[in-house]
Chains A and B, each alone.
Chain A
Amino acid sequence: MAQHIFNGLVGGSFLALVALGLAVIFGMLRVVNFAHGAIYMLGAFLALSMPSFWWALILVPLVLAAGGMVLERTLVHRLAKLDPLYNFLLTFGLTLIFQDLVKWRFGVQSTPYPTPGGLTGSVDFGAFDFPAYRVFVLAMAALICFGVWFLLSRTRVGLIVRASTERPELTQALGINVGRWVTPVFGFGCALAGLAGVLAAPMRAVHPLMGADLIIVVFAVVVIGGLGSIFGSVAAAFVIGVLQALSEAYLDSALVSQILVYLVMAVVLLWRPSGLFGREESPA
């Protein structure tokens, strides 16, 4: 039991990192970034071209943050004033472009990526032992989620971002240039997705559709947590990760684990339409 819960937390780590980026971007820009899954995939593929896993861990998020900021300035920004549907379509189109570019360059087969040296062993937890790399992934995810929480709730930058998220006009009126923060926040969200991609490379199949498969689940996770709620997204990600692992381990039917996340989403939406930790949208 304990080992399955632990394993679920590792699975939840990926959901959490991707969902966190999605939630931060949605909170600040009101943009549902469909391309987030493709950025996760790009993170994994960029890791292949780096000299080592450790360099990838640092450089890939930086590269994707820069790429994300360019994207925001050149494309997303232009559609921000229009109906949100336009940006949804734009990012969906970008997803297809990224996927096909990667297919064209790397082919559709999975690309090999070794477990980083030093993390190939196992960690003994007494009752069970667990691959060291997975323990590392969980630790990284926990550290980053904590870091983001700290940044948002305990620093001046976080204060501005939160204020801009909740009452953009009022924040503007207080003399803070809200527009200036939009681009870095978008880049930051992309960096998180890229980091998750790097972490996924050694333990999952690296192929062009890896993000397309994941992003649907992440959307459901974000809705469960409450759109725009950062804490909610992270909490929901870990809860879904654990539930998924337990359902796979103890139920005889794959159907339940397959639809579990959507089932939870439906129940949560019926009970609290704005998600577990979301607040009702105030009428504009």
Chain B
Amino acid sequence: MRRWAILCAVALTAAAGCGGGGPAGSGSGKLSDGKVVFGVLNDQSGVYAQLSGKNSVEAVEMAMADYKAKYGDKAVVKELAVESVDHQNKPDIANAKAAELYDRKAVDAILDVPTSSAALKVADVAKEKKKLYFNITAATTDLTGKACNKYTFHYAYDTYMLANGTGKTVTDQGAKNWYLVYPDYQFGQDMTASFEAAIKKAGGSVVAKDPAPFPNASGDFSTYLLKAPSLTPKPHVLGTMQAGAELVALVKQYNEFKLREKGVGLAVGLMFLTDIHSLTPDALAGTTYTDAWYWNYDLKSREFADRFQKETGTRPTFAHAANYSAAMQYLEAVQATGTDNADEIVKYLEGRTVEDVFLRNGKIRAEDHRVVHDAYLAQVKPSKEVAEPWDYVKVLKTIPAAEAFRAPSADCKL
């Protein structure tokens, strides 16, 4: 008789949890270990540490606090924690640390993971461990292409989005001939392929393209800058795919060699707010690029940025906002389903439309787990137009979610 009673009780709690209707009853819930742990795996000391790094952890903590404030006593998740690990942009370290986070630290979802080659390794781990993985800061479209899997979501941006925004627009504006310089690894190669495709589609052509050593020990790109004006036909624009500190060095030297005066414009493949801050806006004034989110876009973004600045002392990059959003959406999913079972969460998220501070007209595509949302074509202002610190950019146009990202790839089989 007692056995029956227990079984009944279990069945009832289960029904309440999966019922979908109200929040899942008592706190005892169905969380595997009674708590939710996020794992922020990113670069905390190298070239990408400023654009993601420790401040990504801060963003996730903000989401955790907001979740608690929003649901109070009704929160399914009573205990929240975040683990952060430095992967040093090395695929092998990312691989080992991801496994450790899932297995030993009981992490429910890994977030962030810049550097495409490292990001792909983590996708394999997520698939093997059947645990969630929201990639924010890596750009490769392979995450939603041949390397896609059921547990991996690609959240903020990708090479297609950047190329389609910047490559197409700049070509449309009349810069038909391009010279592309890129760091010789997965990200740079993907970006260049995406840019070439976008430029050709818009009626432009690539005069030449040069892979540069990565990492570039000397921090010097002068060879390519010397070469640019002497190419035939002379390129209208130099497209650089360098990121972080390398981008900073390249732009410095672009100005030093006076390429703008020599008629070679500058287009940047991937740029973060922190890069503009490092270079000062005057070094980049007039440069067009594609942004996934901008802190001063509207009041909603601004309000988030103000809180973020209070915590960290700087304005958030799009990576920070996206980390916040991903953590929040995950917690909302746990709240709604009453479980942290990865398969249940995936089922809940697939096909869902989402609207939050980062995701505008957001949709989590069921076909390939690409999270699509509005993107922005942005232009760097000259310093005399910068009205307040960190407000370096004006948004030229919004690229609607449906156009910003590529159609689901046939290579992806979830």
| Chain A interface (Cβ < 8 Å from any Cβ of B) | 3-4, 7, 10-11, 14-15, 103, 107-112, 115, 122, 128, 131, 133-134, 200, 202-205, 207, 209-210, 213-214, 216-217, 244-245, 248-249, 252-255, 257-258
- Asked if A216 and B184 make an inter-chain contact with CB atoms under 8 angstroms apart, the answer reads no
* Chain A proximity mask over B248-284: 1 for CB below 8 Å, otherwise 0: 1100110011100000000000000011011110010
What separation, in Å, do the CA atoms of A94 and B106 have in the docked complex?
A: 36
Question: Which of chain A's residues have a CB closer than 8 A to the CB of B9?
Answer: none
- Asked if B226 and A108 make an inter-chain contact with CB atoms under 8 angstroms apart, the answer reads no
What separation, in Å, do the CA atoms of A205 and B214 have in the docked complex?
A: 15
Partner of B220, one of A11, A207, A253: A11
- Check B218 for interface membership: any CB of A closer than 8 A: yes
- Asked if B184 and A254 make an inter-chain contact with CB atoms under 8 angstroms apart, the answer reads yes
Count contacts on B: residues with CB < 8 A to the other chain. Answer: 39
What separation, in Å, do the CA atoms of A112 and B392 have in the docked complex?
A: 15
Question: Which of chain A's residues have a CB closer than 8 A to the CB of B216?
Answer: 213
Partner of A257, one of B49, B213, B246, B277: B213
- Asked if A10 and B222 make an inter-chain contact with CB atoms under 8 angstroms apart, the answer reads yes
The interface centre, meaning the residue of A128, A207, A209, A210 with most chain B CB atoms within 10 A of its CB, is: A207
- Asked if A122 and B217 make an inter-chain contact with CB atoms under 8 angstroms apart, the answer reads no
Question: Which of chain B's residues have a CB closer than 8 A to the CB of A254?
Answer: 184, 210-214
- Asked if B215 and A7 make an inter-chain contact with CB atoms under 8 angstroms apart, the answer reads no
- Asked if B278 and A248 make an inter-chain contact with CB atoms under 8 angstroms apart, the answer reads no
- Check B245 for interface membership: any CB of A closer than 8 A: yes
Given contacts A7-B223, A122-B258, A133-B256, 7 further A-B contacts (CB under 8 A): A7-B226, A107-B50, A109-B274, A205-B248, A214-B219, A248-B224, A254-B184
- Asked if B53 and A108 make an inter-chain contact with CB atoms under 8 angstroms apart, the answer reads yes
- Check B45 for interface membership: any CB of A closer than 8 A: yes
Question: Which of chain A's residues have a CB closer than 8 A to the CB of B53?
Answer: 108
What separation, in Å, do the CA atoms of A109 and B47 have in the docked complex?
A: 7
- Asked if B277 and A3 make an inter-chain contact with CB atoms under 8 angstroms apart, the answer reads no
- Check B351 for interface membership: any CB of A closer than 8 A: no
- Asked if A216 and B49 make an inter-chain contact with CB atoms under 8 angstroms apart, the answer reads no
What separation, in Å, do the CA atoms of A108 and B274 have in the docked complex?
A: 10
Question: Which of chain B's residues have a CB closer than 8 A to the CB of A111?
Answer: 278
- Asked if A216 and B46 make an inter-chain contact with CB atoms under 8 angstroms apart, the answer reads no
Question: Which of chain A's residues have a CB closer than 8 A to the CB of B210?
Answer: 248, 252, 254
B299 to chain A, nearest CB (A): 27
B12 to chain A, nearest CB (A): 53
Question: Which of chain A's residues have a CB closer than 8 A to the CB of B213?
Answer: 248, 254-255, 257-258
- Check B227 for interface membership: any CB of A closer than 8 A: yes
What separation, in Å, do the CA atoms of A11 and B222 have in the docked complex?
A: 9
B320 to chain A, nearest CB (A): 14
- Asked if A131 and B245 make an inter-chain contact with CB atoms under 8 angstroms apart, the answer reads no
Could you list 9 examples of A-B contacts with CB < 8 Å? A110-B279, A202-B252, A205-B219, A216-B217, A217-B217, A248-B213, A252-B210, A254-B210, A254-B211
